Amino acid sequence: MLLIFTGMAAQAEEEMEATLKDKAGRAVDAGLHFLRQEQADDGSWSNSVGITALALRGFLESHRGYNEEDGAFITRPVKFILNHVNEDGSISETNQNRSYNTAVAIVALQATGNPAYQDVIRGAQDFLRNLQIDEGEGYAPEHKYYGGIGYGGDERPDMANQYLALEALARSQLSADDPVWEKALTFITRSQNRSESNDQEWAGNDGGFIYAPGFSPHGGTDSYGGITHAGLISLLFAGVDKQDPRIQAAYDWIRANYTLDENPGAPDYQGLFFYYSAFAKSMKAFGDPTVTDTNGVVHNWRNDLASKLISIQRDDGSWANERSSRWWEQNPHLCTARSVIALNQAINP
């Protein structure tokens, strides 16, 4: 599955403006320096598998090309992650966020390029596949939750965990023939405000996505930015063609709501850094170097993203959501990791 979207990204001809790219690289370096200074003795950040995996990914995918040969600041977080592999294949220090933690841990371990971790990755893949809601849990294909993946502690899936799980399965090269993709597509389609393809009564027609079928943490069923980008890239992960009307509808929502100043559609800057990360990954996967908004203004998304993140980076190199603490975004370890990942997407070809 990975080849589908990396191939599209490689088609982009227009790169980031050279001076800005240099500044973005320095911003990444400052963010990684902050993370290195904040790393616990056991290699973790915030004693969390999820945050540790995100930070580790930031190092491994950076323009510096860090790897395990560079020393303990890389090998210790790898060991911390491996120390939390559970018998069911999950990788997590808690039962509450098992899917989230396992998914981002898969991506980090895969990013090391070390074949020694493939057995752990395969076990984690199986955990995510088994977590998907389907007939095994007594859900028929007609149920609104069918094909979804949630946090792993209940039976309510959501598009945030769905996108992260599919990213992990794609990055770790799960076969395109695996039934997980077709089942996932059912849930993804039912989370989109597009009544032509969504069989749920609540569905509108703006093309964007919400958190789960018929539910938004912000109330109502209005689409919002972070999850619309998650929905767009999830469709690509599931093998949907770029010209498919579901993808085009999601992209049109993004065009109509293009901004880096907030998480559009979400109140009070909630989920802002989740938005930046999902924005970067989905725009790179979509493959177009520019976005022409519905007012006809052409945006180089790499330039816009880099300029925004550079402008809000704190003096110590970190990032944090200073306007909303929801979803742990007051935590500078989490937001710095997400910002570095986003900048890496913009900087790297």
Dihedral class, residue 36 (left if φ above 0, else alpha if ψ from -120 to 50, else beta): alpha
The pLDDT of residue 15: 86
Domains held by the chain: number:
1
- Which domain range does residue 113 map to? 2-14+68-302
Whether 223 is in a domain gets the answer: yes
Give the residue ranges of the chain where pLDDT is below 50. 1-13
Whether 239 is in a domain gets the answer: yes
The pLDDT of residue 296: 98
Structure confidence by residue, pLDDT tens digits, 7-54:
444 333 468 999 999 999 999 999 999 999 999 999 999 999 999 999
The pLDDT of residue 259: 98
The pLDDT of residue 11: 39
Looking at residue 170, which CATH number applies to its domain? 1.50.10
Contact indicator for 256, 295 with CB cutoff of 8 Å: no
Instruction: Please report which helix (H) or strand (E) contains residue 28, including its range.
Output: helix 18-38
The one-letter amino acid code at 132 reads Q
The pLDDT of residue 63: 97
Whether 246 is in a domain gets the answer: yes
pTM confidence score: 0.95
d(CA 239, CA 211): 21
d(CA 296, CA 287): 19
Whether 165 is in a domain gets the answer: yes
d(CA 294, CA 256): 5
Whether 328 is in a domain gets the answer: no
The pLDDT of residue 10: 39
CA distances from 2 to 44, 187, 233, 349 (A): 28, 20, 11, 15
Structure confidence by residue, pLDDT tens digits, 137-177:
899 999 999 999 998 766 699 999 999 999 999 999 999 99
The pLDDT of residue 1: 45
Whether 238 is in a domain gets the answer: yes
d(CA 47, CA 51): 8
Nearest to 231 by CA among 273, 191, 258, 262: 191
Whether 115 is in a domain gets the answer: yes
Residues across the chain: 349
d(CA 108, CA 58): 9
Whether 344 is in a domain gets the answer: no
Q: Name every residue whose Cβ is closer than 8 Å to that of residue 243 and which is 6 or more positions away in sequence.
A: none
